[in-house]
A = this chain, B = another copy of it.
């Protein structure tokens, strides 16, 4: 499998996966790149190019097997295994993240949580909150795959440096700040403003300027 796949192609794969899972529930068994493109607003050529990075899924003119594509995407995305996560920052946002019900069914397990003031916060039905100073030692003893960062913006870089030093290679960053990581570490930022801005496009068209 080639290693030079553009990041944004990879970002699209979970979206393909969610769409295909829905189409399969609705009874679709075969789909063309044209139909996939229509669903996602991408050119059929882009769809074919995205999927071609991972091998030959479809036959010219015959479309993709939805079941086979789902299976391949599960393997490609590593959705056939479970992943250990730690949460850093157990404020309002951190507690909200810890209580999100969607992680476990998708194979993401929250194994520990850390805060600068562990005695003053707790997670309902979740791990005991540990002091943040314990994070480096814990990461050496119990390696984790993913760090979720929900600390204030000005603390995010320090926390991420600690996670990276402890071998964590994937960061889900909720702090409203762009952060620096080495090339072998992956970061995704949860940014509600980007989501809002794609909707204001429509609102601008549809309602008069006040």
Contact = CB atoms under 8 A, between A and B. Distances in A.
Contact of A153 (B97, B101, B206): B101
A40 interface: yes
B97 A203 contact: no
Interface string A168-196: 01101000101000001010101111111
Interface string A95-116: 1110111110010100000000
A184 B201 contact: no
A101 B176 contact: yes
Contact of A14 (B3, B198, B202): B198
A195 B11 CA distance: 8
A155 to B, nearest CB: 14
A165 interface: no
Interface string A1-13: 1010011111101
Contacts of A206: 169, 184
A97 B100 CA distance: 14
A203 B169 contact: yes
A57 interface: no
Interface string A40-55: 1111011001000000
Contact of A103 (B83, B95, B106, B193): B193
Interface stretch (A26-34, A60-68, A72-80, A131-139): A72-80
9 contacts: A10-B202, A14-B193, A15-B194, A43-B45, A83-B196, A83-B200, A145-B203, A172-B196, A190-B192
Interface of A: 1, 3, 6-11, 13-15, 17-18, 22, 40-43, 45-46, 49, 76-79, 81, 83, 91-93, 95-97, 99-103, 106, 108, 145-146, 148, 153, 169-170, 172, 176, 178, 184, 186, 188, 190-207, 209-210
